[in-house]
Amino acid sequence: MDRRRFIQTSLALGAATWAAGSLLEGCAAPTSVEAPKYQGKRLVLISLDGGHDGLHAIAPKNNDVLAKLRPKIYADTLQKGIPISLASQSDFVLHRNLKPWLASLEKEEFRIIPNVGLPLNEWNGSHFVSQDFWSMAEYEGNRNPEGVKGTGWIGRLLGREAMQIKDFKRTAIAMNTLTPLVLQGNAVSGVAWPGLEAAETMQGELTGWLENVSPIENNGVYQEMADLSKVYRWLGKSSPAAGFPASGLGLQLAHAATLIQQDMPFKVIKCSAGGFDTHSGQLVAHEGNYPQMAESLSAFHRFLSEAGLLEQTLVVVYSEFGRTIYENSALGTEHGTAGPMYVIGGGKALSQFTNRPFVFETEKLAGTDTTDYLKHQIDFRDVFSEIQRNWLGV
Amino acid sequence: MSAASLQTLHLFNRLCFGGRLQDLDNPESAIWKEPASASKHLFGSIPSYKPLKSYSEEFMVDKSEFARVEENRKVYPNSFDEITHNWLRHAADSSNPIREKAALFWIHFIPVIGESEARVKPLIEIYRKHALGKLEDLFFDLFLNPNFMSFLTAVNSTKDSPNQNLAREFMELFTLGVNHYTENDVRELARCFAGFVQPNVKIQTLSLKAENQDFGEKTLMGQRKAYDYKEAIRWIIAQPQTSRFIAKRVLQFYLTTEPNTEMIEACAAAYHNSGHEFQSLLEFMVAEPWFYDAKYMGNKVKTPIELLLQFQHQTGLRTYGLMCHWHLQRWLGQQLFNPPSVGGWPDGNQWLNGSVLVSRLSLLRNLLIIVNRTHPKNGFAYKLHSWLSHYSLRLFRWNMDAKFDEDAYLAAIEKHKISEAHWLLGSGASKLSTEEQTSLGLSELLQHPYYQYC
């Protein structure tokens, strides 16, 4: 049976390729292009998925509305809460578990944009719709030119020459196994990279596959494999940056730090952290994820500071929405409206937003009289638009 | 292959997990000649619902395996991997997997993060039992399941401060879809859903506590009434928008990520008129000419679970070993009962990038490398063999094996004069050159970009 013999041969070949790939790393490389070096400005986007309750993290002192609507959560924020000494935020208190931020906050290397969101008539209480809003960030000057649904605001920029580094176009990377919407474009998308260990071990698979399959023109799958082979080869040679907590976000930021150290050609790096959809047991949940978030971000701040990269790296932390002012019977909060954006580094970038005084104002949703929502002061699309124009220079 | 046979294969790909070798060899193999008779045969032979049996004995082949099972239980006392293993093994072996494919639709449509073996076991049976039945029966059972309800933070919700999570997701994700309800509907529905408690942690059924329930009138979708939770579910299901929303998701799961309005409306009407019975909707859908439109054939990206099961159905290969399915699911980026969010998993082209794509393209070929091992476990030859296979298989070499009757596979293909390329790739095979159609073998076809579609 000829076909049977053929299967056996190809299996043996596959195994041999793999062995060669792992023993003599890089020898059988179909592409051995060096990574173009990049030392310019970078943007690090971090999404806190699920709807981060900013009012639990930072709240005004002596506030009757909060004391009435969220008595237990407000008490938790105030308990050993850290007074902020900045002029614009002096009436506000930082949650005790976010203490690692305090030093950089006072040096204004860590800054807060208060009450970022959407006008209430455009707001949507669904995670998915809202996450898509933040990923697509569509409006006027920032609209998807082809009108195709489902491209991210960074993904759309990747086609532009200003985002290219030498002839490399996919200059955005997500610390993930799949490319998120924010990095998906019409013609060019960012790459997804699950971390150092995986990148190193996957090279053999990529090499083996590319040798086994004849090239197919205009085939997305083939092109993606060819590109990943190149990128994973660049990244697989790194070693992880030290000094980061072992949490999910901590590891992603450690990997991000590594590729910044190695001058890798990525202008935008996307990380994410989950666990913020606190419909119940919010105090317990935040006892765990606030220290993780605080330590991960301050480790990244420390890395940038020691490497002298604070001026040219802009870190922007956001969530798809905030949460309701009132707490529910399960000591949680429901999907709300505005929330803070946290900004690290970037010199004076975004100062027109970070210098705004904190205010606490509420508004009602049209057609309801029962609930007050936190009023947004700043449209997130204005912030992204500013980043696009004046930070990324597109 | 004739156009009608390709259409039949398309039907098997979408309604089941591809054709099985046994289907080829079936005396009724005339079913391959055209889709209408195949559909009649398939719907006429759906096995009645039975709870899953355990496949544990398969991997407890010797004492060392058994010891590892026990060891694993100590480390992960709440692991439910054996449950999903049993389901995947059952779906791979099933003589007619229409029910299991439909259960997979519901697992996608109503994704829940599993909490423990005790809680996932009844949950997976709810999806399977009602997979082809009435929508309200599915919801009524889910609302009494502590895993589903606590995932949506609906246990211990009270009338004084009702939790909105379940109410919102029920309308947004499971029935009406976004923008078809108001924030006021969310609040009112949350009142209807207050009162569930779990009286005993050992009993995996919730009950209602009268003092937490809200017996007052609520305004829901414009109608004011003192709804209880069942009446509220029925009232929302009765909205034509629910049929429309589910019909769209069904078409996206079974046919194409971009169904057109006429298809959605036709399916919605059929579903609505059947009293929301899932099997009626499926039977209606596969009888429509547009279901066999060339642009939909060989053009849907397989979800990781579809990839895994279709491969096993088409070749007869079976994976064995404690945790093998856990590893395979994890590596392909889709773990059952561990969705990335309440919105479930991505679909379509979103599966075809990053390290998930690398795994998808290489894993099946590498499974072929470890088939039918006879080396003693823990021996050098076994380790070397594992090491030569997929990098991820290396990491858990003690826990994964595969059986493959290559002779039976080749004999079935040859006997029925079906090109191997067409059998595995369906319509995708026509995109290959004539030479490739005849020369590519199993391993090449499984790692071909076109095998990513069905």
pLDDT of A24 over the 60 cut = no
SS (H, E, C) A86-106: CHHHCCEEECHHHHHHHHHHH
d(CA A255, CA B280): 51
Predicted local confidence at residue B54, as pLDDT? 86
Phi then psi for residue B161, to 5 deg, are -145, 70
Chain B contact present for A148, CB below 8 A: no
Predicted local confidence at residue B340, as pLDDT? 80
Of A15-19, A246-250, A331-335, B81-85, minimum mean pLDDT range: A15-19
Q: Do residue A334 and residue B164 have CB atoms under 8 angstroms apart?
A: yes
The answer to whether A29 and A207 are in contact (CB under 8 A) is yes
Predicted local confidence at residue A353, as pLDDT? 95
Which residue in the block uniquely carries the two structure tokens 């997130």? A380
Give the residue from B236, B269, B291 where a domain finishes: B236
Give the residue from B202, B218, B236 where a domain finishes: B236
The SS3 of residue B347 is coil
- Which of residues B69 and B223 earns the better pLDDT score? B223
pLDDT of A14 over the 70 cut = no
d(CA B204, CA B149): 11
Residue B432 lies in a domain: yes
Of the pLDDT bands very low, low, confident and very high (cuts 50, 70, 90), residue B386 is low
pLDDT of A347 over the 70 cut = yes
Residue B39 lies in a domain: yes
- What is the ipTM, given to two decimal places? 0.85
Average of per-residue pLDDT across B344-357: 87
CA distances to A318, B45, B262, B280, B347 from B285, in Å: 43, 18, 12, 9, 20
| Angle in degrees, CA A387, A388, A390, rounded to 5 | 65
Of the pLDDT bands very low, low, confident and very high (cuts 50, 70, 90), residue A90 is confident
Mutate to test the interface with A, among B151, B183, B353 (most CBs of A within 10 A): B353
Average of per-residue pLDDT across B18-25: 84
d(CA A115, CA A321): 10
Residue B320 lies in a domain: yes
Percent above pLDDT 90 for chain A: 60
pLDDT of A13 over the 60 cut = no
Contacts of A218 in chain B (CB under 8 A): none
Chain B contact present for A211, CB below 8 A: no
Predicted local confidence at residue A141, as pLDDT? 54
Predicted local confidence at residue A9, as pLDDT? 40
Contacts of A214 in chain B (CB under 8 A): 436
Of A95-109, A209-223, B37-51, B367-381, minimum mean pLDDT range: B367-381
Residue A73 CA, chain-centre distance (Å), reads: 27
Q: Do residue B420 and residue A3 have CB atoms under 8 angstroms apart?
A: yes
Residue B260 lies in a domain: no
Kindly identify which residue of chain B lies nearest to residue A329, measuring between CA atoms. Answer: B161
pLDDT of B98 over the 90 cut = yes
Predicted local confidence at residue A21, as pLDDT? 40
Please report, for chain A, the start and end positions of each structural domain, with discontinuous segments joined by +. 45-201+243-391
The answer to whether A320 and A47 are in contact (CB under 8 A) is yes
Of B26-30, B85-89, B412-416, minimum mean pLDDT range: B26-30
The four Cα atoms B42, B43, B44, B48 give a dihedral, to 10 degrees, of: 110
Percent above pLDDT 70 for chain B: 89
Task: Give the range of the structural domain holding residue B196, as residue numbers without chain letter.
Answer: 134-236
Average of per-residue pLDDT across A62-77: 94
Contacts of B162 in chain A (CB under 8 A): 328-329
Phi then psi for residue B48, to 5 deg, are -70, 160
Which run of H or of E encompasses B383? Answer: helix B380-388
d(CA A235, CA A164): 18
Which run of H or of E encompasses B43? Answer: helix B35-44
Which residue in the block uniquely carries the two structure tokens 């590893």? B327
CA A388 to chain B, closest CA, distance in angstroms equals 25
The four Cα atoms A196, A201, A203, A207 give a dihedral, to 10 degrees, of: -170
Residue B24 lies in a domain: yes
Residues ≥6 apart with Cβ < 8 Å to A148:
A186
Residue A236 CA, chain-centre distance (Å), reads: 22
The answer to whether A321 and A337 are in contact (CB under 8 A) is yes
Residue B93 lies in a domain: no
B232 lies in the same domain as B366: no
Of A215-219, A356-360, B260-264, B382-386, minimum mean pLDDT range: B382-386
CA distances to B69, B82, B326, B400 from B77, in Å: 11, 12, 15, 21
Q: What are the start-end ranges of the E strands in chain A?
A: 42-48, 58-60, 82-83, 92-94, 110-117, 172-174, 191-192, 268-273, 313-319, 339-345, 362-364, 372-374, 378-379
- Most confident range (mean pLDDT) of A184-198, A217-231, A234-248 is A217-231
B231 lies in the same domain as B306: no
| Angle in degrees, CA B300, B392, B321, rounded to 5 | 90
Residue B174 lies in a domain: yes
B305 lies in the same domain as B444: yes
Kindly identify which residue of chain B lies nearest to residue A279, measuring between CA atoms. Answer: B153
Give the residue from B187, B215, B236 where a domain finishes: B236
Domains of chain B: total: 2
The overall average pLDDT reported for chain A is 86
Which residue(s) pair with A44 in the sheet?
Answer: A269, A315
Residue B121 lies in a domain: no
SS (H, E, C) A286-306: HHHHHHHHHHHHHHHHHHHHH
Predicted local confidence at residue A87, as pLDDT? 67
Kindly identify which residue of chain B lies nearest to residue A195, measuring between CA atoms. Answer: B355
B308 lies in the same domain as B392: yes
Closest Cβ–Cβ partner in B153, B354, B389 for A177: B354
Q: What type of residue is B205? A: T
Average of per-residue pLDDT across B413-440: 90
Annotation: CATH topology of A45-201+243-391: Alkaline Phosphatase, subunit A (3.40.720)
The answer to whether B175 and B239 are in contact (CB under 8 A) is yes
B437 lies in the same domain as B308: yes
- Which of residues B17 and B342 earns the better pLDDT score? B17
d(CA B106, CA B131): 7
Predicted local confidence at residue A204, as pLDDT? 80
Of the pLDDT bands very low, low, confident and very high (cuts 50, 70, 90), residue A29 is very low
Kindly identify which residue of chain B lies nearest to residue A219, measuring between CA atoms. Answer: B449
Residue A251 CA, chain-centre distance (Å), reads: 13
